[in-house]
């Protein structure tokens, strides 16, 4: 089947570009002696997770228990949870998974850790953990000056073992220019250096320092401080990464394929791709660099100015060779959330459809027994 024979809307994935992106990031990690543990909430696909491991990833960072379970069932041996988990039912599921694979959990408070310690004690199991450090996002994590106090509290819990510190510099997505990415990268390094210093001087062993975001990855991959890097978006990239100067248009592997269905006037197209494909995301942390609801690939004269649920409004800013019935590819603003909109993605090379990639661990993929 050929690409131009697909119905629209549809999500399509350029496999050549995907593989190039996977190889580039893995090669940088290998060159700089870093372990790559990519964040899998980007794609929520066992197929793509296995590809990352095949390319050399040492483990996976997961957003949900469902992701962890699905990947472990596919043979992945190393999993990290980057958020504090406090729901007892979730904890029990993770403990069961720890009998099949290495599980690393994360804490930024003692209360959650006590819940874990009790459940682990019931089964005489010990788990490794990271202390979450706030490097500027102000979401999860403790400040460097608070990490020794928390470490001392956590050290009293006999079923938990500290192995390192981790952070997510997600505030990089809120910068006002590509030049400011480097400032966040510098902050990321400085904060984690301070946290490691405080803990080491207090007598704690910090075996691993982990961090992760796609925009800062390329700045910090050569930093000796870090042992584990955990970017997520890099397999696909998207319009946000474009706006930050992290990638070029040809690096964006995932697009939404649509058809122009109407031209109400000389300055407006209507396309059959709406918010149920592209979402309404202009940056999870308030990016001011995004002007529209996606980028029409290869057509700088177009700007997506509005989305209904099933259709989009595209402003015509200059001369265009497109007409009603023509197909267009739209680079999502945020590919991570868009991948979660579909049950599958069409993988292609050139004009040929090669495979259907299941997005098989999105949402509540593991249904409860009632």
pLDDT in tens, 330-361: 999 999 999 999 999 999 999 999 999 999 99
Phi, psi of 153 (to 5 degrees): -65, -45
Determine the average pLDDT of the residues in 172-197: 96
Cα 319 to its chain centre, rounded Å, is: 36
Cβ atoms of 226 and 211 within 8 Å: the answer is yes
Task: Return d(Cα 152, Cα 369) in angstroms, integer.
Answer: 40
Q: Which two tokens stand for residue 318?
A: 């200059």
Helix boundaries (H) for the chain = 15-31, 46-55, 65-73, 88-97, 110-123, 147-154, 181-201, 214-220, 239-243, 275-278, 335-339
Omega before 363 cis (within 30°)? no
Does residue 288 carry a pLDDT above 80? Answer: no
Residues listed for the chain? 370
Of the candidates 314, 262, 266, 272, the one whose C-alpha atom is nearest the C-alpha of residue 293 is 314
Task: Return d(Cα 175, Cα 131) in angstroms, integer.
Answer: 26
What are the CB-based long-range contacts (under 8 Å, 24+) for 25-33?
25/217, 25/231, 25/234, 26/55, 26/56, 26/57, 28/217, 28/218, 28/221, 29/56, 29/221, 29/229, 30/56, 32/221, 32/222
**Helical packing angle, 181-201 and 147-154, nearest 10°:** 50
Task: Return d(Cα 135, Cα 220) in angstroms, integer.
Answer: 14
Cβ atoms of 353 and 346 within 8 Å: the answer is yes
Cβ atoms of 238 and 193 within 8 Å: the answer is no
Determine the average pLDDT of the residues in 158-182: 96
pTM of the model: 0.95
Does residue 286 carry a pLDDT above 70? Answer: no
Task: Return d(Cα 233, Cα 241) in angstroms, integer.
Answer: 9
Task: Return d(Cα 233, Cα 56) in angstroms, integer.
Answer: 17
pLDDT, tens digit, 9 for 90 and up, residues 296-329: 999 999 999 999 999 999 999 999 999 999 999 9
pLDDT, tens digit, 9 for 90 and up, residues 57-72: 999 999 999 999 999 9
């Amino acid at each position: 089947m050929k690409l131009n024979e697909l119905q629209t809307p549809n999500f399509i994935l350029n496999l050549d570009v995907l593989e190039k992106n996977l190889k580039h990031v893995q090669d940088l990690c290998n060159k700089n002696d870093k372990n790559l543990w990519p964040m899998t909430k980007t794609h929520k696909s066992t197929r793509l997770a296995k590809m990352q491991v095949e390319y050399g990833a040492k483990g996976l960072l997961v957003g949900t228990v469902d992701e962890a379970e699905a990947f472990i069932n596919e043979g992945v041996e190393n999993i990290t949870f980057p958020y504090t988990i406090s729901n007892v039912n979730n904890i029990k599921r993770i403990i069961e998974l720890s009998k099949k694979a290495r599980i690393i959990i994360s804490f930024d408070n003692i209360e959650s850790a006590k819940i874990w310690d009790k459940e682990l004690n019931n089964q005489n199991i010990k788990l490794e953990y990271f202390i979450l450090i706030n490097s500027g996002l102000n979401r999860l994590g403790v400040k460097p000056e608070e990490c020794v106090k928390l470490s001392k509290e956590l050290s009293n819990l006999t079923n938990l073992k500290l192995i390192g510190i981790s952070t997510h510099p997600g505030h990089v997505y809120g910068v006002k220019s590509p030049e400011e990415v480097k400032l966040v990268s510098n902050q990321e390094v400085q904060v984690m250096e301070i946290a490691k210093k405080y803990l080491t001087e207090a007598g704690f062993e910090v075996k691993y320092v982990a961090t992760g975001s796609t925009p800062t990855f390329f700045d910090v991959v050569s930093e000796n401080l870090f042992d584990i890097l955990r970017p997520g978006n890099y397999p696909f990239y998207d319009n946000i990464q474009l706006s930050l100067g992290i990638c070029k248009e040809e690096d964006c592997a995932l697009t939404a394929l649509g058809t122009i269905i109407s031209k109400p006037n000389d300055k407006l197209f209507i396309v059959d791709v709406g918010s149920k494909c592209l979402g309404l995301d202009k940056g999870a942390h308030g990016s001011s660099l995004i002007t529209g609801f996606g980028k029409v690939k290869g057509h700088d004269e177009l700007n997506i100015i509005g989305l209904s649920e099933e259709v989009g409004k595209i402003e015509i800013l200059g001369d265009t060779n497109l007409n009603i019935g023509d197909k267009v590819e739209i680079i999502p603003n945020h590919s991570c959330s868009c991948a979660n909109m579909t049950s599958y993605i069409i993988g292609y090379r050139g004009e040929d459809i090669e495979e259907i990639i299941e997005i098989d661990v999105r949402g509540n993929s593991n249904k409860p027994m009632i």
